[in-house]
Chain A
Amino acid sequence: EIHIKEPIEKEVNPHLLPGELLLCEASTVYKYMQEDGSNRGTYGKLVCTNFKISFLDDDSASDDNEPQFKNKIVGENDITLQCVDQIYGVYDEKKKLLTGQLRKYPEKLIIYCKDLRVFNFCLRYTKEEEVKRIVSGIVHHSQTPKLLKRLFLFSYASAAPNNTDGRNQTVMFETLEDWRDELERTKGNVKYKAVTTNEGYRVSEKLPLYFVVPICISEESILKYEGRGIPIWCWSCHNGAALLKMSAFPKEQDDSTSQMQKAFLDGIYKTISKPPYELLKMDDLSSSLPSLQDIQTAYTRFKQLFLIDNSTDFWATDVKWFSLLESTNWLEIIRRVLKKAIEVAECLEIQHTNVLLIEETATDLCCVISSLVQVMMDSYSRTKSGFQSLIQKEWVIGGHCFLDRCNHLHKSEKEEAPVFLLLLNCVWQLVQQYPPAFEFTETYLTVLSDSLYVPIFSTFFFNSQHQRDTNKSGESLKTQSGPFRFLTVWDWSVQFDPKAQAFLNNPLYAEKPKPDRSQRKTARFKHQRQLSLPLTQTKPSTKRGFFREETDHLIKNILGKRIGKFINSSDEPPNSLREFYDSWHSKPVDYHGLLLPRIDGPEIKVWAQRYLRWIPEAQLHGGGTIATAAKILDLMEEVQSLQVKMDEERSQAVSGDIHSVPMLRNSARLSSLFPFALLQRQSVKPALPTSTWKDLEDEDDLVKRDDEFVDLSGDML
């Protein structure tokens, strides 16, 4: 699989993956180094394949410095076609967006990537013919609509030998057993069942093959409206309260239809609000959270702040940085989503009610909220395999339309919205607020977000399980090896060697202490924190009434259109949420228990590693969180070697290998952008703001004063 360059070969050739075809190329392309806005750079060849755009440095000597953290599939000068965000051409110093057909060919090409890299290529020294071919090739292959089957995923799957190792601990939720195990794990199996109703996708192509519903729901009701109006189980809390989601009915013009739907829903609610089911609270996410359009707009503005052309740009935007950030609204959206997740957690944990999330398709914001709630409430979701299983359950199998939301096929910009990125951004807030609570690092989240654009994994390249299944077998007759066997992104060995993979594991994470031999009799300490909360417990008798009264009103609204929040509705004491939040925060954190994000103004931060990692001006030489992380890794290494030594002493023999810890020698000189920036690129010069002056208009009188008014000329007399 790995191509080794032949030493005699003079020409640099792209490293091609199985199934990857070279489509066009251009030589003597000059790639500017981003560093200083000067014209420093290197000559090389720019190529475009059916997988990536790649710049091949003529001076391959620079390969000497193997980075410690290297992606085996996408190199530092590779851009997968799906990773290209926007392409600009520069004509006489003017930037112009390149899409579709081109009449004139630019002198410079600027490629903005979805992983926030910016590439600047100068084409002035390239033959005109080659410029034409490469520019139109790149624009065509990365920016124009594409058929699903033309995704590299398929060529790769048919050409690559399948060598996925079965060691993956991620639960894929493709089988009935997976769902049953999950029910058992969360003790939801008393009131909920996994159903096979959708086998052959006879209920709906949007629903997964298997899913879980309340036991009392009949097969007929599931089939009646293609699964709409059916509460689908996401997760059960330790106290039995469950998180459910439901695909709402679209707004219906026809009165009789809507009457029927109302009656149907009425029946459903009646069934699932009777004991043994808990009280039900609903939340129509389409009205209580920002719309997908809002999210897309905010992110588009937000990412623009990090796609920086040069140093001047960086410092020019620095002056108004906070207001620029605020105007994108992205952090505010993150805050609102986190707040919603806290509300849901409060209902489940304190009020002991079931929560039903409602959304038109139940595959966007439902996924965000249900995943976040599980990350906060279920410490298993904070392990690597647990988190991956969660993404499988709620997103991949759950039917999030990755293909449309990422606009991988350039079909319609209207469908595009960074919903999954929103989740990762929210999870990052938790990771940075409670580092010891997660088995994975922020680097894990960053490379996961990058993997959204690597089309060799099927994980993020289908809209539904149905779409994947049908395309897996659809044309497979043409290939000799039977159905495609796609790779999953969770097999991290495809992208990273073990040394690099170690950066995905959090050294601060301490596994949940298992009741070991000596302490087996002590009670499981799970949910210790919850037990210590002042339980404003359920008041069953009165709350039952609450639901009944509200039923009609709720149904009216679900059939109708916009509705207010049901969670935290007006008859709740308005500060119960605040009380829950404050009370939790006033106690020491149990990293294996409930975790609530802090959401006050200063607590919501920019995910610096993902967004600032390619910006040299933002680099701290020898600083950043990596500096402390490196110290911890060094110490862990030392502790482990001591452990080995101790074992040796005990057994008087050499012991076997141990869990690997990444080696970070000379850690003090690592850049804060590590592992994404390279050591040898550091400059010694400090970064100096070029534009710092801003008028303090409102303080004009103060500005003009001197520190202390003393007439010094008087002194001289």
Chain B
Amino acid sequence: MASSSTPKYNSNSLESSSSKWTLKDGTNWEQNEEIPRLPGETRVTDKDVIYMCPFNGPVKGRVYITNYRLYLRSVENDPVVILNVPLGVISRIEKMGGASSRGENSYGLDITCKDMRNLRFALKQEGHSRRDIFEVLTKYAFPQSHNSLFFAFVNEEKFSVNGWMVYNPMSEYRRQGLPNERWRVTFINERYGLCDTYPSLLVVPYNATDDDLKKVAAFRSRNRIPVLSWIHPETQAVIMRCSQPLVGMGGKRNKDDERYLDIIREANGQISKLTIYDARPNVNAVANKATGGGYEGEDAYPNAELFFLDIHNIHVMRESLKKLKDIVYPNVEESHWLSSLESTHWLEHIKLVLTGAIQVADKVSSGRSSVLVHCSDGWDRTAQLTSLAMLMLDSYYRTIEGFEVLVQKEWISFGHKFASRIGHGDKNHADADRSPIFLQFIDCVWQMSKQFPTAFEFNEQFLITILDHLYSCRFGTFLYNSEFLREKEKVTEKTLSLWSLINSEKSKYTNPFYSKEVNRALYPVASMRHLELWVNYYIRWNPRIRQQQPSPVEQRYMELLALRDDYIRRLEELQITNNSKISNSSTSSTSPSQMVSHVQTHF
């Protein structure tokens, strides 16, 4: 059985495709084993089942469950159907049918996944056959609900590079030219005493003392004070992020906060007003006053200009994605595809987020005004806006490592609540805290890379890999809600970073068309004419929609690159033989070595 499985695994069947690259991703698959396994991964159970494939109908197979994955291999189909699903992807496990239910394949399990698919397995009705598989799955898919460890903590993979070294806040701020005479690094939050959802290291105006910061913290929701995210190398205008001010119904004011914002405004020597972007719709910002929040009023902040960006809350986004799934899985809505897509509002939300980020970026770059961005708590919409604006303004973030730094900085270190938004290892699938905010951000990045196919060093596979491991719990990267908690759990010591996987195999995630361009602002067009549904992600399980990978254009380009290198090599050989023939007589202006080095600078 084992010997026959190797060639079959190369089949074109849909499920194998996911297994294919997961395997390439570093999973060790010993030839004498039935299933691929990671170091530290242990077999738990296996069982004969019928996989109710929504595309090819019922598939007889054997399902294997480990402490990391659910693996299914068909026994009769040719090509072999393979499912390879990290348990972390599972959102919900339901029993379907009862011991007495009739009809073929009506008894079994229905598994809802976080990555836009559902899996159904039918089991034999005899002797509680599904009970143990249900229990095993529940236990390993939801370790948080069972007081056990994420797989990341038992993963024993080894990589040639250490992804935890990718982000060092101090060197990132230094790269930006900080600290300087107007901005300083503060360690006030070293023990997370000022704000437990912020990173330990913060950049604040030089003219604001740590004492000032403490006073400001009292007036900002969850103490998330305005701190620097990015500084424009020429205009010195900055992007600041924070949470909403605690204005409340009474319209409270806080002198320290007002003064602090003025210090920020003055820090780049600007005379114009400070621009505040409140990511929320106006009405929501107003409504927040009822619970003690609010926004910067004109009276209190005469030197600031406030704009609302109309981006909706996490609940709206969650519903939107749910609707999107309805029209693409398992079957793509056919007759009214466009209006169905429109009714999900998914791309409309993408458009609003991108529009907001463009405004932020444009203000900082050409408006030469510093910008303050917040929403309610400053960890969802705010992270989307600052990171996208930074991606537009700073070409460093468009490289593989730069993007990793961006995610590490604006999302992970600034307390985007990954654990709550994704619900890692948590069985409570209906938790209202879950929301696809980070997915939405990655989608925005994909839209940009689609519009500017030569501007990003990374390819689509890079983004898809990030999303896959957002759920897989194989790496510690996205676990927990804050830096504070990650430190408490010793994540960097006990788990591996996703960037270790990616950076040890960079060529796989590299866009061959990338041309490095420094200091070029990249503004996507946030128009429905250009925004597209990310088919290769959202509809990737559907074999009828699947795109050719890599794209034929990319393939042709790679062929040409190989041809060029081959020519260079052959030319060099020719020149060497010719030179030796004619010895001293030929003195061409371009010596072979010169030319070769010129051509190869592209790499």
B484 to chain A, nearest CB (A): 18
Residue B6, interface by CB 8 Å: no
Residue A623, interface by CB 8 Å: yes
Contacts of A24 in B (CB 8 A): none
A435-B552 in contact (CB<8A)? yes
Task: Report the Cα distance A237→B29, complex, angstroms.
Answer: 46
Contacts of A707 in B (CB 8 A): 313-315, 375-377, 380
Contacts of A688 in B (CB 8 A): 355, 358-359, 362, 526
Contacts of B540 in A (CB 8 A): none
Task: Report the Cα distance A694→B312, complex, angstroms.
Answer: 11
Mask for A517-539, Cβ within 8 A of B = 1, else 0? 00000000000000000000000
B455-A714 in contact (CB<8A)? no
Q: Of the candidates A632, A642, A652, A699, which one forms a contact with B556 in the assembled complex, judged by CB atoms under 8 Å apart?
A: A632
Residue B248, interface by CB 8 Å: yes
A629 to chain B, nearest CB (A): 8
> Which of B99-107, B123-131, B160-168, B334-342 has 4 or more CB atoms under 8 Å from chain A?
B334-342
Interface centre among B292, B336, B375 (most CB of A within 10 A): B292
Contacts of B533 in A (CB 8 A): 602
B544-A620 in contact (CB<8A)? no
Q: Of the candidates A315, A322, A711, A712, which one forms a contact with B339 in the assembled complex, judged by CB atoms under 8 Å apart?
A: A322
Nearest B residue to A631, CB-CB: B513
Q: Of the candidates B283, B513, B524, B567, which one forms a contact with A620 in the assembled complex, judged by CB atoms under 8 Å apart?
A: B524
Task: Report the Cα distance A325→B527, complex, angstroms.
Answer: 14
Task: Report the Cα distance A326→B10, complex, angstroms.
Answer: 39
Contacts A608-B529, A685-B362, A706-B376 given: A326-B523 contact, CB under 8 Å?
A: no
Mask for A298-324, Cβ within 8 A of B = 1, else 0? 000000000000000011001111110
Residue B498, interface by CB 8 Å: no
Contacts A325-B338, A699-B319 given: A632-B288 contact, CB under 8 Å?
A: no
Contacts of B535 in A (CB 8 A): 602
Contacts of A581 in B (CB 8 A): 544
Nearest A residue to B328, CB-CB: A602
Interface centre among B246, B313, B517, B527 (most CB of A within 10 A): B527
Residue A508, interface by CB 8 Å: yes
Residue A638, interface by CB 8 Å: yes
Nearest A residue to B551, CB-CB: A435
A649-B578 in contact (CB<8A)? yes
Task: List residues of A (617-640) whose CB comes within 8 Å of B's CBs.
Answer: 617-625, 627-628, 631-632, 635-636, 638-639
Task: Report the Cα distance A694→B355, complex, angstroms.
Answer: 14
Task: Report the Cα distance A260→B359, complex, angstroms.
Answer: 74
Contacts A326-B339, A692-B351, A705-B315 given: A632-B377 contact, CB under 8 Å?
A: no
A600-B248 in contact (CB<8A)? no
B359-A639 in contact (CB<8A)? no
> Which of A60-68, A201-209, A583-591 has 4 or more CB atoms under 8 Å from chain B?
A583-591
Task: List residues of A (405-439) whose CB comes within 8 Å of B's CBs.
Answer: 434-436
Residue B539, interface by CB 8 Å: yes
Contacts A623-B455, A635-B560 given: A642-B567 contact, CB under 8 Å?
A: yes
Task: Report the Cα distance A176→B228, complex, angstroms.
Answer: 78
B556-A631 in contact (CB<8A)? no
Contacts of A625 in B (CB 8 A): 453
A104 to chain B, nearest CB (A): 37
Contacts of B369 in A (CB 8 A): none
Nearest B residue to A698, CB-CB: B343
B293-A646 in contact (CB<8A)? no
B338-A621 in contact (CB<8A)? no
Nearest A residue to B287, CB-CB: A704
B525-A631 in contact (CB<8A)? no
B523-A716 in contact (CB<8A)? no
Contacts of A321 in B (CB 8 A): 342, 527-529
A710-B291 in contact (CB<8A)? yes
Task: List residues of B (528-586) whose CB comes within 8 Å of A's CBs.
Answer: 528-530, 532-533, 535, 539, 543-546, 548, 552-553, 555-557, 560-561, 563-564, 567-568, 570-571, 574-575, 578
A435-B342 in contact (CB<8A)? no
Contacts of B555 in A (CB 8 A): 436
Task: Report the Cα distance A603→B453, complex, angstroms.
Answer: 19
Contacts A618-B529, A619-B525 given: A602-B332 contact, CB under 8 Å?
A: yes
Count, chain A residues at interface, CB 8 A: 85
Interface centre among A612, A632, A706, A708 (most CB of B within 10 A): A706
Contacts of B249 in A (CB 8 A): 713
Q: Of the candidates A646, A672, A692, A713, which one forms a contact with B248 in the assembled complex, judged by CB atoms under 8 Å apart?
A: A713
Count, chain B residues at interface, CB 8 A: 92
Contacts A620-B530, A703-B316 given: A631-B557 contact, CB under 8 Å?
A: yes
Contacts of A436 in B (CB 8 A): 552-553, 555-556
Task: Report the Cα distance A585→B13, complex, angstroms.
Answer: 11
Contacts of B561 in A (CB 8 A): 635
Contacts of A600 in B (CB 8 A): 332, 334, 337, 544-545
Task: Report the Cα distance A325→B529, complex, angstroms.
Answer: 10
Task: List residues of B (265-306) whose CB comes within 8 Å of A's CBs.
Answer: 281, 283-284, 287-288, 291-293
Task: Report the Cα distance A210→B555, complex, angstroms.
Answer: 44
Mask for B459-497, Cβ within 8 A of A = 1, else 0? 000000000000000000000000000000000000000
B338-A323 in contact (CB<8A)? yes
Contacts A323-B338, A631-B454 given: A711-B332 contact, CB under 8 Å?
A: no
Nearest B residue to A619, CB-CB: B525
A711-B453 in contact (CB<8A)? no
A618-B525 in contact (CB<8A)? yes
Residue A219, interface by CB 8 Å: no
A687-B525 in contact (CB<8A)? yes
Mask for A674-717, Cβ within 8 A of B = 1, else 0? 00000000001111110011101001001111111111111110
A685-B520 in contact (CB<8A)? no
Residue A668, interface by CB 8 Å: yes
Task: List residues of A (72-98) whose CB comes within 8 Å of B's CBs.
Answer: none
Q: Of the candidates B333, B341, B546, which one forms a contact with A322 in the assembled complex, judged by CB atoms under 8 Å apart?
A: B341
Residue B221, interface by CB 8 Å: yes
Residue B345, interface by CB 8 Å: yes
Contacts A623-B451, A713-B291 given: A642-B564 contact, CB under 8 Å?
A: yes
Contacts of B433 in A (CB 8 A): 708
Contacts of A162 in B (CB 8 A): none
Contacts of B316 in A (CB 8 A): 696, 699, 702-703
Contacts of A164 in B (CB 8 A): none
Residue A184, interface by CB 8 Å: no
Q: Of the candidates B339, B520, B544, B564, which one forms a contact with A639 in the assembled complex, judged by CB atoms under 8 Å apart?
A: B564
A689-B315 in contact (CB<8A)? no
Q: Of the candidates A582, A608, A623, A646, which one forms a contact with B453 in the assembled complex, judged by CB atoms under 8 Å apart?
A: A623
B84 to chain A, nearest CB (A): 19
Contacts of A325 in B (CB 8 A): 338
Nearest B residue to A709, CB-CB: B291
Task: Report the Cα distance A685→B561, complex, angstroms.
Answer: 35
Residue A331, interface by CB 8 Å: yes
Residue A275, interface by CB 8 Å: no
Residue A553, interface by CB 8 Å: no
Contacts A622-B520, A624-B451, A635-B561 given: A715-B543 contact, CB under 8 Å?
A: no
New contact pairs (10) apart from A625-B453, A686-B525, A712-B246, CB-CB < 8 Å: A322-B338, A435-B552, A435-B553, A603-B545, A617-B525, A639-B563, A645-B595, A689-B355, A689-B526, A706-B293
- 5 tightest A-B CB contacts, nearest first: A601-B337, A713-B292, A712-B292, A686-B523, A321-B528
Which residues of chain A have a CB within 8 Å of any CB of chain B? 314-315, 318-323, 325-326, 331, 434-436, 508, 510, 581-582, 585-589, 591, 598, 600-603, 606, 608, 612, 615, 617-625, 627-628, 631-632, 635-636, 638-639, 642-643, 645-646, 649-650, 652, 668, 672, 684-689, 692-694, 696, 699, 702-716
26 pairs from A and B in contact (CB 8 Å cutoff): A321-B527, A322-B528, A325-B338, A508-B553, A585-B546, A586-B543, A589-B548, A617-B525, A618-B529, A624-B453, A627-B513, A631-B515, A639-B563, A642-B568, A643-B567, A646-B567, A646-B571, A688-B526, A692-B355, A703-B281, A704-B284, A704-B287, A706-B287, A707-B315, A708-B376, A708-B377
